[in-house]
Amino acid sequence: MNLEVKKKEFEWYLRDYFFKENKDKCDQDLIKDFKKDEVPPSLIKTYLRYRNSDPNEIRDLLNIVTSNMQKNNIIIENDEIISIYSNLDRKQCVQCYYINYLFKNEPLQCSKCNSKDLREFPPKKLSKENNKLS
Ligand SMILES: [Zn+2]
């Protein structure tokens, strides 16, 4: 697997991680600051994909990906603390079905096929029956 693919894959897992850490939390309770040295062990623990990975390799990937994210103004990195501006929205691409995790200040665009046709994932169920009853 080449480095470009590895980086892209790693970024997906990192976004998934930020998303899950903040799932079900309201805005005020969001974890916005992540200690950078705690991220690689958490990723290795959380994701089967990285279960047998070398922590040093994860750390290297994290450094590359977070410095890119910082350049794109998605995160701030300071004194080994990764700060995120907002939680992420999970959106599925209508064209290629890829699941995207997007920060609120990022353009709505699929990172796999560049389509702008994204929808909430999982789709919100609008139950008319329940609305009638309540
Ligand atoms: Zn797509």
Task: Quote the ligand 1 centre to 123 CA distance (angstroms).
Answer: 16
Q: How far is ligand 1, taken at its centre, from the CA of residue 107, in Å? A: 13
Q: What is the pLDDT along the chain (134 residues), one digit of tens a residue?
A: 799 999 999 999 999 999 999 988 888 889 999 999 999 999 999 999 999 999 999 999 999 999 999 999 999 999 999 999 888 999 999 999 999 999 998 999 999 999 999 999 998 776 555 555 54
| Residues near ligand 1 ion, CB 5 Å cutoff | 93, 95-96, 98, 110, 112-113, 115
Would residue 76 count as lying in a domain? yes
Q: What is the pLDDT of residue 134?
A: 46
> How far, in Å, is the centroid of ligand 1 from the Cα of 120?
13
In the chain, how many domains are there?
2
Helix (H) or strand (E) segment spanning residue 91: strand 88-93
Q: In terms of domains, do 16 and 81 share one? A: yes
Pseudo-torsion of CA 31, 78, 69, 88, nearest 10°?
A: 10
Instruction: For residue 73, tell me if it sits in a domain.
Output: yes
Distance 60 CA to ligand 1 centre (A): 28
State the distance between the two ends of the chain, measured CA to CA, in whole angstroms.
53
Question: Which CATH number does the domain housing residue 46 bear?
Answer: 1.10.10
38 with 81, same domain: the answer is: yes
Backbone φ and ψ for 133, nearest 5 degrees, come out as -70, -30
How far apart CA 111 and CA 32 sit, in angstroms, is 23
